[in-house]
Amino acid sequence: MKGKTVVVTGGTSGIGKVAAEKLAKMGARIVLIARDKPRAEATLALLRQAAPDLAHTAHYADLSRISEMKQAASAIAAQEPRIDVLLNNAGALFGARRTSEDGLELTFALNHMSYFVVTELLLNRLAFSAPARIINTSSRAHQGARLDFDDLQMTKRYGAMRAYCRSKLCNILFTRELAGRIEGTGVTVNCLHPGFVATRFADEAGGLISSFAGVAKLLAISPEDGADTIVYLASSPEAAGVSGQYFYKRRSVSPSAAALDRKAALELWKRSAALSGLDH
């Protein structure tokens, strides 16, 4: 990873933070997209300890807002001469239905649309830097989920876990559709299930979800273990050239039947492009 630049969303806590630190120790320069400035500054301090000779930096954005997704990604594309790896890892679970300033259900906006918009705006820079890699953090939670394109924003039947599971299905559908579109560019894209990890995840969801998550985390794996497949996909020669796959514990595994639905992947792409205004 020496001489390589890695852009990370969701890199100020949990598996994203661990992955960023590990990649920095391997020689990568880290560019964070973060919402919380104190946590970003604390993460940058760790990165500078891990690799003091590299100019790690952060851009600030609320990745549930399309305007800020675009602003941060455009700034990075303009400032960075090359991008070797993009890690889309930002995500959350919300106990009650909330909407973004764009009118999107918040889980969908943050967990899926940020992946779509940031990737689209950094894609030319990644292709220029090829071989390059895109990694999307998904989850086994996608199992059993189905997208309802008549109610993609869940205005009729909202459930916190249903919204989260759908967003993780979106991550896989997006990965598979993108893989076909960028084939031959030298850029690969894969997604992964990190395992159930003991992180800040769901701490702010509120109500029973936070309580249940707190108990469940007693049985969870460490962020270090959860970040392992991310680091593998970002750096391993074995993963070079592999694209459009869903990984768990460094191995390509089969996702759900819904995640393999080509028509759903194309429809999600069209809807995401229209919602973001990136439907060129």
Strand-strand pairing, 132-137 and 187-193: parallel
Residues assigned a catalytic role? 164
181: three-class secondary structure by DSSP: helix
At a CB cut-off of 8 Å and minimum separation 6, what does 3 contact? 27
Q: List the structure tokens of 252.
A: 């390509």
**CA neighbor of 218 nearest in space, from 239, 196, 238, 203:** 196
197: three-class secondary structure by DSSP: strand
At residue 4, what are phi and psi to the nearest 5 degrees? -100, 150
DSSP 192: E
Element holding 273 (H helix, E strand): helix 262-276
What is the Cα 174 distance to its own chain's centre? Answer: 11
DSSP 220: P
